[in-house]
Chains A and B, each alone.
Chain A
Amino acid sequence: MRTIKFLLQKEFRQIFRNRAILILIMVMPVMQLIILPLAADYEVKNINLSVVDHDHSPYSQQLISKITASGYFRLQGYHTSIEEAYRSIEQDKADLALEIPYGFERNLIREGEQQLFIAVNAINGTKAGLGGAYLADIIRDYNQHIRTELTIPTRFQSLPIIEIVPNNRFNPLLNYQFFMVPGILAILLTMVGGFLSALNIVKEKEIGTIEQINVTPIKKHHFILGKLIPFWILGNVVFTLGLLVSWLVYGIFPQGNLLAMYGFIWVYLLAVLGFGLLISTYTDTQQQAMFIMFFFMMIFILMGGLFTPINSMPGWAKVIANLNPVSYLVEVMRMIILKGSGWRAVLPHLGAILGFALVLNSWAIWNYRKTN
């Protein structure tokens, strides 16, 4: 115990003397948490629309104004032919082109049927898919509208209309930030913890101080604990800062058990730090450690369920996601912060993370050699 106390004293002295890193640890997550959720948004807005209106009728005018009024589209311009509209897509000025044929209004009323043509620039898949869907949605809505307008409702022959009233549980206004902020906080916590611990032991190797430590009677697990505890404490500070930012800036406060949230974070940090330490025991330079950590971070982030739901991944990817501690954290954060879950609901996740923590740390202790 005495040894650990002095190891900790030494580590903290070093951490507090490394001003640049300390500021980075504290300021970076706060900055990113303020900036990223505002930019990383699933909703597609400002879709540039080219319109080719051959009809110039009140109906076509109505349709166009309905589309532009939705807020998703920005009218890029009117064209006289579809070829011209294509050109604007080719020049990347427009994302979508809508062609309203000649006689749109007349045919619609007389024959009750008309076709519209939509061309989508599919280079950006998300934008194309969502843009097309939005447009189709608006047109369907418009269609519904004229049908009710044209059909004279009688007592016997009323038009059946199914209206869907969605109730968005846990996030009634579908506020995108509620979804994104906890996820980004999870990633930031993982990055800070993982990188700091991965670089630390390697730094001692690089500078040569480990040589001196290795001839002392310090026990291996003492040494590893001496590295683990300071970063564990820093991780908690970062997490608390993150929670404060999401509360003050986004008004997001954990709906569930705050203690359960912290309890999970405590175990989670052990797992992430253990992973960092493990990498540092396998590498010889900070550069190596950095690149290996980057490799895993990319996988952790992209396969952690932050941007894409894990359920829609192929089978093999689900296996990887199950081995990805970040996926558990992202899920638990959303459960506790948005859904208001308590201890019981996160127990399976907690068990898995505890397993990660035990395996990774034991592995790190085992692989750290005082003798070569």
Chain B
Amino acid sequence: MVTVNNITKTYNKGAVKAVDDVSFSVEKGELFGVIGPDGAGKSSIFRILTTLLLPDGGTATVDGHDVVKDYRYIRNHVGYMPGRFSLYQDLTIEENIQFFATVFNTTVAENHHLIEDIYIQLEPFKKRRAGKLSGGMKQKLALCCALIHKPTVLFLDEPTTGVDPVSRKEFWEMLKRLKQQGITVLVSTPYMDEATRCDRIALMQHGKILSIDSPQGIIRAYPGPLYAIKATDKPRITQALATHAPSFSSYIFGEYIHVDPQGVSSKYLTEELTTLLAKEGFREIEVMPITPTIEDCFIKMLTK
């Protein structure tokens, strides 16, 4: 449905490489996540795929049409929700949806079934101006407007940034339902915890894709075990572990500290870590082997 072949995009006359030789493909009906920190090049890829930006090199197709040559077709058939709220703030919810429907030569009634679930939540406020909505509502409205012309592919650029956790969860539920209706969805996010909601994800950093796989696949591919530690005097733990030979890499992860033994594998690592920490004077020590999260995988890839 979407193919990207060796796409490159530079800014400032080549000084900044935003997208560096990126290739991937997305199947029809897939919920594909592009995950990476700010500045990884996610938005640039989305803007290239939605014909807003011309790539410096490489080719890309959406729904079988080239993004440079067939931009007309693509503009008629994709839905795009930019990272920044970009609907008319001085128009009401109703007027915004209506406007975008007519711009695509369709009517709200024709594709109402697509936005039904979302619109139900907006309906009580339909006379309210878009600028006066809360962050979560704005995102729902933007999604409605991007969907109203029944796009074959939906591009959502950081739709959940700046949205509260409950609304974020709701938003992902909506995406799941859209997927069930056969719409291919590409979504970018800086939040690693959202990755597991995608069918497949691409982890990005500095314009390059580090890995593409299903979230489970990426987790399975994590080399070696991973431990979570909890003890008194948390800030000193990483120091203590780094001085140990062979040194363990560790980082703070919520209330725990994740320890990557970096190749050292031993059945008794749990006990070894406990005694090590006890010797260093920590108390209330808690050590357990854990399955890595996507974030752990991402950190691992970055340190490689």
A residues touching B (Cβ–Cβ < 8 Å)? 2-3, 6-7, 10, 13-14, 17-18, 207-218, 370-372
> Quick check: A212 and B102 within 8 Å, CB to CB?
no
Leading 8 A-B pairs by shortest Cβ distance: A208-B86, A6-B102, A215-B80, A212-B86, A208-B84, A211-B82, A216-B103, A217-B76
What count of chain B residues pass the 8 Å CB interface test? 29
- Do residues A6 and B99 form an inter-chain contact, with CB atoms below 8 A? yes
A216 adjacent to B86 (CB under 8 Å): no
**Measured between C-beta atoms, what is the minimum distance from B35 to chain A in Å?**
22
Residue B95, interface by CB 8 Å: yes
Residues in A neighbouring B80, C-beta threshold 8 A: 212, 215
Contact between B53 and A372, CB atoms less than 8 A apart: yes
A215-B52 CB under 8 A given contacts A10-B88, A14-B90: yes
**Nearest CB in chain A to that of B129: its residue:** A17
Contact indicator B91/A13 (Cβ below 8 Å): yes
B75 and A217: CB pair below 8 A?
A: yes
Q: Which residues of B contact A208 (CB under 8 A)?
A: 82, 84-86
Q: Hey, which chain A residues are within 8 Å of B91, CB to CB?
A: 10, 13-14
The residue of chain B having its C-beta at the shortest distance from the C-beta of A6 within the complex is B102
Nearest-neighbour CB distance to chain B for A221, whole angstroms, equals 14
Q: How far is the CB of B139 from chain A (nearest CB, A)?
A: 14
Q: Tell whether, in the assembled complex, residue B87 and residue A212 are in contact, meaning their CB atoms are under 8 Å apart.
A: yes
Asked if A2 and B75 make an inter-chain contact with CB atoms under 8 angstroms apart, the answer reads no
- Which residue on A lies nearest to B74, using beta carbons? A215
Please, could you name 21 A-B residue pairs with CB atoms under 8 Å apart, sorted by A?
A: A6-B102, A6-B103, A7-B103, A13-B90, A14-B90, A14-B91, A208-B82, A208-B84, A209-B88, A212-B145, A213-B103, A214-B52, A216-B75, A217-B75, A217-B103, A218-B103, A370-B51, A371-B54, A371-B71, A372-B53, A372-B54
For B103, the chain A residues whose CB sits under 8 A away are: 3, 6-7, 213, 216-218
Q: Is there contact, CB below 8 Å, between A215 and B75?
A: yes
From residue B60, how far is it (CB to closest CB) to chain A in Å?
13
Tell me the nearest residue of chain A to B102, going by C-beta: A6
Which residues of chain B come closer than 8 Å to A7, judged between CB atoms? 103
CB distance from B121 to the nearest CB of A (A): 21
Which residues of B sit under 8 angstroms from A6, Cβ to Cβ? Answer: 99, 102-103
When the two chains form their complex, are residues B99 and A17 in contact, meaning their CB atoms are under 8 A apart? no
A14–B105 CB distance below 8 A? no
The yes or no answer to B198 lying at the interface (CB within 8 A) is no
In the complex, per-residue mask of B100-120: 1 if CB is within 8 Å of any chain A CB, else 0: 101111000000000000000
Contact B90 A18 (CB under 8 A): yes
**In chain B, residues 50-99, which have Cβ atoms closer than 8 Å to a Cβ of chain A?**
50-54, 71-72, 75-76, 78, 80, 82, 84-91, 95, 99
Q: Who on chain B is nearest to A216 by CB?
A: B103
Chain B residues whose C-beta falls within 8 Å of the C-beta of A371 in the assembled complex:
51-54, 71
Closest B-chain residue to A10, C-beta based? B99
Q: Which residues of A contact B87 (CB under 8 A)?
A: 209, 212
**Residue in B closest to A209 when the chains form the complex, CB atoms:** B86
In the assembly, what is the distance between CA of A7 and CA of B104, in Å?
A: 12
Report the minimal beta-carbon distance from A19 to chain B, rounded to whole angstroms.
11
Known: A212-B87, A216-B100. A372 touches B52 (CB 8 A): yes
A130 to B79, CA, bound (A): 69
Q: Are A211 and B52 in contact (CB under 8 A)?
A: yes
Chain A residues within an 8 Å CB radius of B51: 215, 370-371
Q: Which residue of the partner chain B has the closest CB to A208?
A: B86
- Besides A211-B52, A371-B51, 11 more A-B contacts (Cβ < 8 Å) are A3-B103, A6-B102, A7-B103, A13-B95, A18-B90, A209-B86, A212-B82, A217-B103, A217-B104, A371-B52, A371-B53
B103 to A, closest residue via Cβ: A216
Q: Which residues of B contact A372 (CB under 8 A)?
A: 52-54
- Residue of A3, A207, A209, A214 near B102 (CB, 8 A) is A3
A2 to B102, CA, bound (A): 8
A59–chain B nearest beta-carbon distance, Å: 75
Contact in complex: A17, B90 (CB < 8 Å): yes
In the assembled complex, the CB of B24 is this many whole angstroms from the nearest CB of chain A, namely 21
Q: Do the beta carbons of A215 and B50 come within 8 Å of each other?
A: yes
Q: Report the minimum CB–CB distance from A218 to chain B (whole Å).
A: 6
Q: Give the complex CA separation of A13 and B129 in angstroms.
A: 12
- B100: chain A residues at CB < 8 Å are 212, 216
Q: Which residues of B contact A217 (CB under 8 A)?
A: 72, 75-76, 103-105
Q: B residues 156-210 with Cβ under 8 Å of A?
A: none
Shortest CB-to-CB span from B44 to chain A, Å, is 11
**A372 closest partner in B (C-beta):** B53
Q: How far is the CA of A149 from the CA of B279 in the complex (A)?
A: 129
Distance in Å: Cβ of A293 to nearest Cβ of chain B: 22
Most-contacted residue by chain A among B72, B87, B88, B89 (CB, 10 A) = B88
Q: Which residues of A contact B84 (CB under 8 A)?
A: 208, 211
A215 to B103, CA, bound (A): 11
Bound complex: CA A248 to CA B53 (Å): 55
CA distance A268 to B179 in the complex (A): 53
Q: Are A207 and B104 in contact (CB under 8 A)?
A: no
Residues of B within 8 A of A211 (CB): 52, 82, 84, 86
Which B residues are in CB contact (< 8 Å) with A17?
90, 129
Residues in B with CB closer than 8 Å to A209 are: 86-88
Closest Cβ of chain B to A215, distance in Å, is 4
- Cα A46 to Cα B119 with chains together (Å): 71
Q: Which residue from chain A places its CB closest to the CB of B155 in the assembled complex?
A: A215
Q: Could you say which residues of chain A place their CB within 8 Å of the CB of B50?
A: 215
Knowing A371-B54, A372-B53, say if A207 contacts B76 (CB, 8 Å).
no
**Contact partners of B145 in chain A: CB under 8 A:** 212
A372 to B55, CA, bound (A): 9
Give Cα A301–Cα B106 distance, bound, in whole angstroms.
47
Known: A10-B88, A371-B52, A372-B54. A215 touches B102 (CB 8 A): no
Q: A216 touching B102 by the CB < 8 A rule?
A: no
CA distance A136 to B75 in the complex (A): 76
> Per-position contact with A for B27-40: 1 when CB-CB < 8 Å, else 0?
00000000000000
Q: Please, which residues of chain B bring their CB within 8 A of the CB of A214?
A: 52
Cβ of A225 to closest chain B Cβ, rounded Å: 14
